[in-house]
Chain A
Amino acid sequence: MFDTLSLSALPPEDEALRPALRALIAEAIADLPVHRRARSWQGFDAAFSRKLGQAGYLGLSLPKEYGGVGRGPFTRFVVVEELLSAGAPVAGHWIADRQSGPLIRHYGTEEQRQFYLPRISRGEALFCIGMSEPGSGSDLASVRSRADRQADGGWLLNGQKIWTTNAMHSDYMIALVRTSGTGADRQSGLSQLIVDLKLPGITIRPIIDLTGDAHFAEVFFDNVRLAPDALIGEEGQGWKQVTAELAFERSGPERIYSSVVLIDAWVRHLDAVGRKDSATLRLVGSLTAQLAVLREMSLAVTARLVAGESPVVEASLMKDLGTGFEQAVPQLIGDDLASHPDEAVDAELYRTLLYVTHIAPSFSLRGGTREILRGIIARGLGLR
């Protein structure tokens, strides 16, 4: 079972990207304190995202004819690994580059591709994804936002989205909404629409989280008029499209590196205080060993994407294991530091630790909760 997952190696031409990219990242994060770097994929810096786009590090898997780089998931693996392991602020381009671009390429019309993809590749069209609603988190089939077809072929959109990452900074939302039937029809009758967030009738309210950040938002649609070409893909096929999209979201190195800035800061602390007792070595080694295995698993899932497959079950398996690790890190490092009360811990490391500790519950929520993922794995095992 799952024997399609096996060790893979990054192509040399992708490995070769690291030095130049690293220089660009070093410049961007030079003045960022560690607790800001620890935010990484919540860190919003539109200027940095544009810089990455100009340098050819976005739209990696998009074809050149649409302004992309024309490479593939392995290239993206290297770029994402460099960005996240350094703690670069990636939130600006993150969703457009990771999900919206591939979605538009796959399901969009030729006009949509030509309109959106070059701008995504330049880091100039920022996207958010409208999936969750009040009362509809992992149970996406129950979404109630509704778009009704108008006489001119356009759409009239009403409803509300919530937990929408970076909606207030984005240019567009790809929203999953009901275009026919009722909630009783579940998956059928859902469609994906591209919504220009500057249209009249849209209100966006940031949601401040427990760390003081606002990376989520509530988005209200009040009789928003959309043009006929707002529909992406087929009407009524939104569920199928979303499921495929989530496979992109669940696989990459983003599911293992959320706590790595904290690990590195802690390792530097251990060196500074000269602590090398056996309990310390074991904790350092255990976290390192687990991360090494997770990285190979993530690479193995990426190799399935390269092979043109949609490894939904494998990606779920990897994500559940990876986010479990990411969440264990702040707990274990917190215990380690606080079990040495006579050792001075600088305030920056403490701020980083507490930031990661407080935000860690989100690691296993974004992109499908642990329980939902385990259900997908169980189906893969033939239990459902």
Chain B
Amino acid sequence: MDMHELIDPFARLIEDVCTPAAIRAIEAGGDAAPMWQAFTDSGFLDALVAEEAGGAGLSLADAAPLIALLGYHAVPLPVGDSMIARALLAAAGMDVPDGPIAIATGHGPVPFAGVAGHILAGSSEAPVLTVAGGEPTGVHHDIDAYVSGVDGRALRPIAAILRALLMSGATERVMEMTVAYANERTQFGKPIGKQQAVQQQLSVLAEQAVAARIAAAIGARSGLSPRPADAAIAKHGASLAAAQVAAIAHAVHGAIGISEEYDLQLLTRRLHGWRLADGSESYWAGVLGDLRLADSTQSTADFIRAA
């Protein structure tokens, strides 16, 4: 399959319906239904659903670029979460609701729960769906929300990989925006991107963005029932990168970067939220460390080759 045949229409769809103005409107509490309807009509929500169940039957690795695009454009709806939820529900022979589905894996704020119709918890084999009733976080323009009374711990690995993919898309976009800004913004008579100090910072940003993408890809390769080690590598790597990428991007942008009217913050606020969701870098490091120490006679190289 030529991946462009898949990615290009999805990219056009997002660019059409998910403009920065549309994102801001939803974050301000506006009606998300038209944007959601566009995603529903596209058929992409069933990309991961098996063909015999009426979906496109893509693997998670195949769908990874689509999910990254959602992060790249800061789509303010749980499109990736719903793609995974719909696949799990269909595989379990359960009814799939039309609206947006968020995935809750712990007691912290659940990404997109503030704009979701349903919450998925339980496990991959036995998903549990409840009607959303999230408590706002109180964070300015946050679309995440607290969800109580559900247990989705078993979904944490797949959710962590999903979050890593979203972060990889967002870091890519942040890198592009920041490089473009450094080439445009003039200080002391020349673009700031001509200053070595700024170039060195942007090189680090680029390294982290690539690391996030590779980490997320390791997770995606593991599929819809991922091994915990792959989820750990993915979420650790992406979360580690997310904080650094956001920090450098804002440092290079200067004051304009934290302005509400400038689009950078649409992405960096997502990066920080996703970093904390479904287990941070330290949480997943602990999971991986436990797996690694299970056999201390094995070399680290052998362990990561098997991961």
Report if B203 contacts A (CB, 8 A): yes
Q: Is the Cβ of B300 less than 8 Å from the Cβ of A281? A: no
Mask, A64-83, CB within 8 Å of B = 1, is 00000000000000000100
- Bound complex: CA A378 to CA B207 (Å): 11
A295: B residues at CB distance < 8 A = 301, 304-305
Within 8 A of A (CB), among B151-194: 172, 175-176, 179, 182-183, 193-194
- Bound complex: CA A225 to CA B198 (Å): 47
B291: A residues at CB distance < 8 A = 285
A371: B residues at CB distance < 8 A = 196, 200
- Bound complex: CA A383 to CA B182 (Å): 8
- Bound complex: CA A287 to CA B292 (Å): 11
- Bound complex: CA A274 to CA B200 (Å): 42
Report if B71 contacts A (CB, 8 A): no
Q: Is the Cβ of A317 less than 8 Å from the Cβ of B210? A: yes
A128: B residues at CB distance < 8 A = none
A150: B residues at CB distance < 8 A = none
Quote the shortest CB–CB distance from B304 to chain A (angstroms). Answer: 4
- Looking at B22-30, B111-119, B253-261, B279-287, the stretch in contact with chain A turns out to be B279-287
Q: Is the Cβ of B202 less than 8 Å from the Cβ of A293? A: no
Report if A349 contacts B (CB, 8 A): no
Q: Is the Cβ of B237 less than 8 Å from the Cβ of A281? A: no
Q: Is the Cβ of B237 less than 8 Å from the Cβ of A383? A: no
Report if B1 contacts A (CB, 8 A): no
Report if B91 contacts A (CB, 8 A): no
Q: Is the Cβ of A383 less than 8 Å from the Cβ of B293? A: no
Q: Is the Cβ of A377 less than 8 Å from the Cβ of B288? A: no
- Bound complex: CA A6 to CA B214 (Å): 7
- CB nearest neighbor in A for B290: A281
Report if B221 contacts A (CB, 8 A): yes
Q: Is the Cβ of A284 less than 8 Å from the Cβ of B293? A: yes
Report if A267 contacts B (CB, 8 A): yes
Q: Is the Cβ of B200 less than 8 Å from the Cβ of A374? A: yes
Report if A263 contacts B (CB, 8 A): yes
- CB nearest neighbor in A for B232: A289
Q: Known contacts being A288-B300, A377-B203, is A321 close to B211, with CB within 8 Å?
A: yes
B203: A residues at CB distance < 8 A = 317, 320, 373-375, 377-378, 381
A284: B residues at CB distance < 8 A = 285, 288-289, 292-293
A382: B residues at CB distance < 8 A = 179, 183
Quote the shortest CB–CB distance from A363 to chain B (angstroms). Answer: 16
Report if A307 contacts B (CB, 8 A): no
Quote the shortest CB–CB distance from B229 to chain A (angstroms). Answer: 8
Among B193, B198, B213, the one with the most A-chain Cβ atoms within 10 Å of its Cβ is B213
Q: Known contacts being A6-B217, A257-B301, A300-B214, is A289 close to B233, with CB within 8 Å?
A: yes
Q: Is the Cβ of A260 less than 8 Å from the Cβ of B207? A: no
Q: Is the Cβ of A292 less than 8 Å from the Cβ of B293? A: no
- CB nearest neighbor in B for A10: B305
B285: A residues at CB distance < 8 A = 281-286, 289
Report if B218 contacts A (CB, 8 A): yes
Within 8 A of B (CB), among A251-290: 257, 260, 263-264, 267-268, 270-271, 276, 278, 280-290
Q: Is the Cβ of A286 less than 8 Å from the Cβ of B172? A: no
A260 touches which of B237, B288, B300 (Cβ 8 Å)? B300
A384: B residues at CB distance < 8 A = 194, 199
Among A5, A86, A289, A381, the one with the most B-chain Cβ atoms within 10 Å of its Cβ is A289
Main secondary structure of the interface of A (DSSP, over half): helix
- CB nearest neighbor in A for B175: A1
Among B179, B182, B203, B211, the one with the most A-chain Cβ atoms within 10 Å of its Cβ is B203
Q: Known contacts being A288-B300, A317-B206, is A267 close to B218, with CB within 8 Å?
A: no
Q: Is the Cβ of A288 less than 8 Å from the Cβ of B304? A: yes
Q: Is the Cβ of B202 less than 8 Å from the Cβ of A381? A: yes
Mask, A21-55, CB within 8 Å of B = 1, is 00000000000000000000000000000000000
Quote the shortest CB–CB distance from A170 to chain B (angstroms). Answer: 29
Q: Known contacts being A85-B299, A288-B289, is A7 close to B281, with CB within 8 Å?
A: no
- CB nearest neighbor in B for A375: B199
Q: Is the Cβ of B218 less than 8 Å from the Cβ of A293? A: yes
Q: Known contacts being A267-B293, A271-B293, A321-B207, is A289 close to B202, with CB within 8 Å?
A: no
Among B211, B285, B289, B299, the one with the most A-chain Cβ atoms within 10 Å of its Cβ is B289
A264: B residues at CB distance < 8 A = 299-300
Quote the shortest CB–CB distance from B237 to chain A (angstroms). Answer: 5
Within 8 A of B (CB), among A305-347: 317, 320-321
Report if B242 contacts A (CB, 8 A): no
Q: Is the Cβ of B200 less than 8 Å from the Cβ of A378? A: yes
- Bound complex: CA A384 to CA B179 (Å): 11
Q: Known contacts being A382-B179, A383-B179, is A285 close to B214, with CB within 8 Å?
A: no
B217 touches which of A281, A285, A296 (Cβ 8 Å)? A296
A81: B residues at CB distance < 8 A = 301
Report if B48 contacts A (CB, 8 A): no
Mask, A350-384, CB within 8 Å of B = 1, is 00000000000000000000010111011011111
- CB nearest neighbor in A for B207: A321
Mask, B213-252, CB within 8 Å of A = 1, is 1110110010000000000110011001000000000000
Q: Is the Cβ of B236 less than 8 Å from the Cβ of A286? A: yes
Q: Known contacts being A285-B236, A289-B233, is A2 close to B210, with CB within 8 Å?
A: yes
Known A293-B218, A378-B200; 14 more pairs at CB < 8 Å: A1-B209, A3-B213, A85-B300, A270-B296, A276-B293, A281-B290, A283-B289, A284-B285, A288-B303, A292-B233, A293-B215, A381-B202, A382-B183, A384-B199
Ordered by A's residue number, 23 sampled pairs between the chains whose C-beta atoms are within 8 Å are: A6-B217, A7-B221, A260-B299, A270-B293, A281-B290, A281-B293, A283-B289, A284-B292, A285-B232, A285-B285, A285-B289, A287-B300, A289-B215, A294-B211, A296-B214, A373-B203, A374-B200, A378-B193, A378-B200, A381-B179, A381-B199, A381-B202, A384-B199
Return the 3 tightest CB-CB contacts between A and B, nearest first. A285-B289, A281-B289, A271-B296
Query: Which of A's residues lie within 8 Å of B, judged by CB?
Result: 1-3, 5-7, 81, 85-86, 257, 260, 263-264, 267-268, 270-271, 276, 278, 280-297, 300, 317, 320-321, 371, 373-375, 377-378, 380-384
